[in-house]
Amino acid sequence: MLSRVHHSVLLGITGACAVLWMCAPLPSARAVETQSPRPSVAEDFPIASGVRIAGDDKQTRFILDLDHKIDVRAFTLNNPYRVVLDIPQVTFNLPTGVGGSGRGLIRAFRYGLVMPGGSRMVFDLTGPAKIEKAYAMEAANDQPARLVLELSAVEPSAFKASSVSSAGSGDLNQLRPAILADADANPAVPDTTGMTKAMTPTDSRLVVVIDPGHGGIDNGTQAPSGEAEKSLVLDFALALRDRIEKSGKYRVVMTRSDDTFIPLGDRVKIARNNMAALFVSIHADALPKKEGDAQGATIYTLSDKASDAEAEKLAEAENKADAIAGVNLTEEPADVADILIDLTQRETRTFSNRFARMLANEMKSVARMHKHPLKSAGFRVLKAHDVPSVLVELGYVSNRDDLQHLVSESWRSRTVGSVAQAVDAFLGKRVVSANPPSN
Ligand code: ZN
């Protein structure tokens, strides 16, 4: 489906979470839109019913047919060259496979929800381009309402991040997904996800942050039968939240609890702002057919040097989540050189590795593990220097048995139980060591 093709086009890589099934039949885009366990697509959102692309590699026009006119904001991004259209939430009823390839300056595109009330289209360009126009038109002369994007090629030296808006009505700031650091927005994004209500001063329990990977416009990997990683891992994460909350011992904060896109940096921020005692990111992997078959769960921790080539490839793929969703990647904060941060980080990594081992031990009694279940690589989502963090790949959606597990209620329940057990064992120890007897 889309994400597969998009991943493949965008990344030009094979393997890992962003895997491609170039030869497999494409499930319909509409099926994907409705796969989310909690669809945020309601009847009364504008409906996008078709796309047309015309032109060549000098000038390209993209048209989206709609049932009524909407506002649009368009901007360009670098590294890789992309154009982003931010629009109000739209129900995309587009034909199967649309966006997998483009024309002229548009190599491929994808679309989806980036926040409640906000949809986004991200275009991968064949080269540097500038936005000539981005505007919406009312229905007229038997033509439906349309959104039009006109691009023209520029020299790489002439490319600059630019922004074009068509606010026919309403406030553009409302149009802009606030959680995304885009071309001209201040990279210091406000924290919008669960932090305010999470910071209850009277609640002194340790905080566990559960991070279901991907979401919204970023589908993650895709099983040949159509199941999207973003939905599988959300189901798992919600069940894990419920299980941990039931014990009453820890406070759980989710980075997302519905089908919304959250940038990687914001996920890390949620962990840090909540002073989390533990951050658990949940994913599901996939291998392309030509790379054979792999199965079982793997637990990843952060390291500067990947434990093996597969881990490195996976981290690269997972780190592309923001590029997929059209987040500006040029504003990466520089690594802070601070000896105290270094020390904290070293201790945090020790804790992360300890938890990873405890988790592997618990999980192996109920779930099938990968033949090398403990690995490490440079995952951006694991980079909170003061929060022990692991990323769990629950299994391979490309493996038939793993997929059967991933969609099975009883497997999920057993495995969630083992993760909750490991969390309790790990945090129980931390509570004891953090509060030595005072007499
Ligand atoms: Zn993933």
- Residue 231 contacts residue 215 (beta carbons within 8 Å): no
What does the alpha-carbon distance between residue 385 and residue 218 come to, in Å, rounded to a whole number?
26
Distance 104 CA to ligand 1 centre (A): 31
Q: Residue 21 in 3-state DSSP?
A: coil
Q: Would you state the pLDDT for residue 37?
A: 42
What does the alpha-carbon distance between residue 105 and residue 360 come to, in Å, rounded to a whole number?
47
What does the alpha-carbon distance between residue 110 and residue 9 come to, in Å, rounded to a whole number?
11
Q: What is the mean pLDDT of the chain?
A: 80
Q: Residue 43 in 3-state DSSP?
A: coil
Distance 373 CA to ligand 1 centre (A): 16
Distance 341 CA to ligand 1 centre (A): 28
Q: How does pLDDT run across 11-36, given as a tens digit for each residue?
A: 333 333 333 322 333 333 333 333 33
Distance 169 CA to ligand 1 centre (A): 38
Distance 407 CA to ligand 1 centre (A): 16
What does the alpha-carbon distance between residue 268 and residue 165 come to, in Å, rounded to a whole number?
31
Distance 214 CA to ligand 1 centre (A): 6
Q: Is the peptide bond before 187 cis (omega within 30 degrees of 0)?
A: no
215 φ/ψ sector (left φ>0, alpha ψ -120 to 50, else beta): left
The burial of 79, by beta-carbon neighbours within 10 Å (0-12 exposed, 13-18 middle, 19 or more buried), is given as: exposed
Distance 301 CA to ligand 1 centre (A): 14
According to the per-residue pLDDT averaged within each range, which of 2-11, 193-202, 339-348, 414-423 is highest? 414-423
Is residue 439 pLDDT above 60, yes or no?
A: no
Distance 43 CA to ligand 1 centre (A): 30
What does the alpha-carbon distance between residue 37 and residue 347 come to, in Å, rounded to a whole number?
38
Query: Scanning the structure block, which residue is given the tokens 């996008």?
Result: 48
341 φ/ψ sector (left φ>0, alpha ψ -120 to 50, else beta): alpha
Query: Which pTM was predicted?
Result: 0.71
What does the alpha-carbon distance between residue 226 and residue 27 come to, in Å, rounded to a whole number?
6
What does the alpha-carbon distance between residue 260 and residue 127 come to, in Å, rounded to a whole number?
29
Q: Sign of dihedral through CA atoms 274, 278, 284, 288?
A: positive
Distances (CA, A) of 375 to 213, 306, 357: 18, 8, 10
- Residue 230 contacts residue 213 (beta carbons within 8 Å): yes
Q: Would you state the pLDDT for residue 333?
A: 52
Query: Scanning the structure block, which residue is given the tokens 């921790």?
Result: 301
Summarize the confidence of residues 139-158 as an average pLDDT: 91
Distance 71 CA to ligand 1 centre (A): 32
Distance 229 CA to ligand 1 centre (A): 7
What does the alpha-carbon distance between residue 282 and residue 415 come to, in Å, rounded to a whole number?
12
Distance 52 CA to ligand 1 centre (A): 31
Six-digit token string for 23: 């030869």
Distance 12 CA to ligand 1 centre (A): 17
Distance 213 CA to ligand 1 centre (A): 5
DSSP class of 198:
H
Distance 66 CA to ligand 1 centre (A): 32
Distance 17 CA to ligand 1 centre (A): 5
Is residue 197 pLDDT above 90, yes or no?
A: no
Distance 175 CA to ligand 1 centre (A): 28
Q: Cα 349 to the chain's mean position, in Å?
A: 23
Q: Cα 247 to the chain's mean position, in Å?
A: 29
Six-digit token string for 1: 């489906």
Distance 114 CA to ligand 1 centre (A): 17
Q: How does pLDDT run across 268-285, given as a tens digit for each residue?
A: 999 999 999 999 999 999
Distance 260 CA to ligand 1 centre (A): 14
Distance 220 CA to ligand 1 centre (A): 5
Catalogue all structural domains in the chain, each as residue range(s) with its CATH number. Answer: 4-25+191-434 (3.40.630.40), 42-178 (2.60.40.3500)
For every residue of 289-353, DSSP letters joined together read GGG----SEEEEEE-SS-SSHHHHHHHHHHTTHHHHTT---TTPPPPP--HHHHHHHHHHHHHHH
Confidence band, pLDDT 50/70/90 cuts, at residue 346: confident
Confidence band, pLDDT 50/70/90 cuts, at residue 413: very high
